[in-house]
Amino acid sequence: MRLDHDSGRMGGEVLRGRFQGRMLDDLGLEELLDLLRECRDADSQSAAILEAYLDRTREEDWRAGAPGAGEHGGGSAGSRGTGGAMTREEAYEVLGLQPGASEGEIKDAHRRLMLKMHPDQGGSTYLAAKINQAKDLLLRS
């Protein structure tokens, strides 16, 4: 998955499974829902990221036709945890920063991303949680 920190645009390539090697933008809604089913069976973190992608890129109510709709608290990525411990390297990557960034740079990156990715702005609770987790981890030390 790739996130353009300036525009908030998401994209990505499928790494495993039936759609391996295909770009998410090239998949139709039915194919994306099939991929979501595969992810829910094999990798809940990938499923949450794919849900965030669908929330961000699909204007129609894709959740109504989603596999397992209603089985996961409505299928919301925000109903699950943030997916385990984050490393410092991952935290810098989430915030789009280089290792060793200053406290001010960390806070600025966090603020900039939250303006774009906050659920109130059309983002997802999953991505907002990851952004918060990254900031907290980096500012703890």
The per-residue pLDDT string of the chain (141 residues; one tens digit each, 9 = 90 and over) reads 887 777 778 888 999 899 999 999 999 989 999 999 998 888 877 888 888 888 878 766 777 766 655 444 334 333 334 445 788 988 898 888 999 999 999 999 999 888 887 777 777 788 888 888 899 999 986
**Domains in the chain: how many in total?**
2
The reported pLDDT for the residue numbered 76 is 39
Same-domain status, 67 and 7: yes
Q: Note the pTM of the prediction, 2 decimals.
A: 0.55
CB 138 within 8 A of CB 88: yes
Residue 82 counted as domain residue: no
Distance, in Å, from the CA atom of 126 to the CA atom of 55, rounded to the nearest integer, reads 11
Domain of 132: which CATH number?
1.10.287.110
Whole domain around residue 56: which residue ranges? 2-76
